Structure 1
């Protein structure tokens, strides 16, 4: 279940835009920060989580939200991965691995985990609130076997798929 806290219908020439946020978090995430900043400090360290598509996802946004006490999870573009995050590349994973295989890296300092999972294509998710365990299974249709098969799926992928919805 989600709650609407604030919204912006159009983000074009917004007279209230915050250039500081734009520089720190990029143009897409800046309005989000501007909307959540007024949330009271008493909401810190609650069970609030933000789910994002790859347009918003960046390391600086994750760190900021974690410092504010919010969880964050979202798919992340290859070019936005931290330089020190050495996951198996999407191309290598697609060619060399089987469906359900995954790779992940986590950093204690930032509290961010990044996981890459092979389904029909590779999926890369970053999170401050979910981890790999428990690894569950999910039924997927196999064109090769012409039937549904069970493939492993890290918890972080399942949480994202279950909760991502509504608006971006």
Structure 2
């Protein structure tokens, strides 16, 4: 969200965000942190979710192996299957209401398990993987190329034991955190700055 106070037809309100009023932008960056594309939301009929990713995935070089990482706003099972057919590797967090008929452990059940517990399922072709992991909250993630094992241990603070403990983390979540974190320089450069009004 880019902060904008005055009235305009495409201005958005999103409850719970640090910047609640303004313009909504979708952007993609490279693994080195450079901005590759940016698209402003232009009201009803403009690209949202699935369409945004597919439109810009078509611009990727076909002979160069690419990996795309995205947040749950964009992720769906259909999107990952379509990207897999185009030989584009993709991983993204996914909302629990978008995993369709997958018999993965429910969020409420996994919350009651110890920290670091996870459950995963794959489709018949073994091309699509869905994994839920219990950290501070339950994270659901899906990928069309990555795997759960070998996992790694991550350090987390335990309120019960009052010390840092090692928690098991699936490999695809490790890769997601590494690559999604590369977009940080885009935000830090503050491409869009708030302009004061009299």
Normalised TM-score (structure 1):
0.82
Structure 1: state its 5+ residue gaps: none
Match in the other structure for 1:156:
172
Q: CA deviation at 1:157?
A: 1.2
Match in the other structure for 1:39:
60
1:14-163 aligned within 5 A: 27-43=48-64, 46=65, 48-83=66-101, 85-95=102-112, 97-109=113-125, 111-163=127-179
Deviations 1:36-85 (A, max 9, x none): 21334323xx2x111011000001110111111111111100100031x1
Is the partner of 1:8 in helix, strand or coil? Answer: strand
Flag the structure with higher strand content: 2
Is the partner of 1:65 in helix, strand or coil? Answer: helix
Distance 2:114 2:49 in 1: 34
Distance 2:141 2:44 in 1: 30
Distance 1:72 1:149 in 2: 31
Normalised TM-score (structure 2):
0.70
Aligned residues: 154
Distance 1:28 1:13 in 2: 14
CA RMSD between the two structures? 2.3
Match of 1:7 among 21, 27, 37: 37
Distance 2:89 2:148 in 1: 15
1:130 and 1:93, CA in 2 relative to 1: closer, same or farther beyond 3 A? Answer: same
Is the partner of 1:130 in helix, strand or coil? Answer: coil
Alignment check: 8 A CA contact 2:53 2:74 kept: no
1:155 and 1:40, CA in 2 relative to 1: closer, same or farther beyond 3 A? Answer: closer
**If you compute each CA radius of gyration, which structure gives the higher value, 1 or 2?**
2
Structure 2: state its 5+ residue gaps: 1-30, 188-198
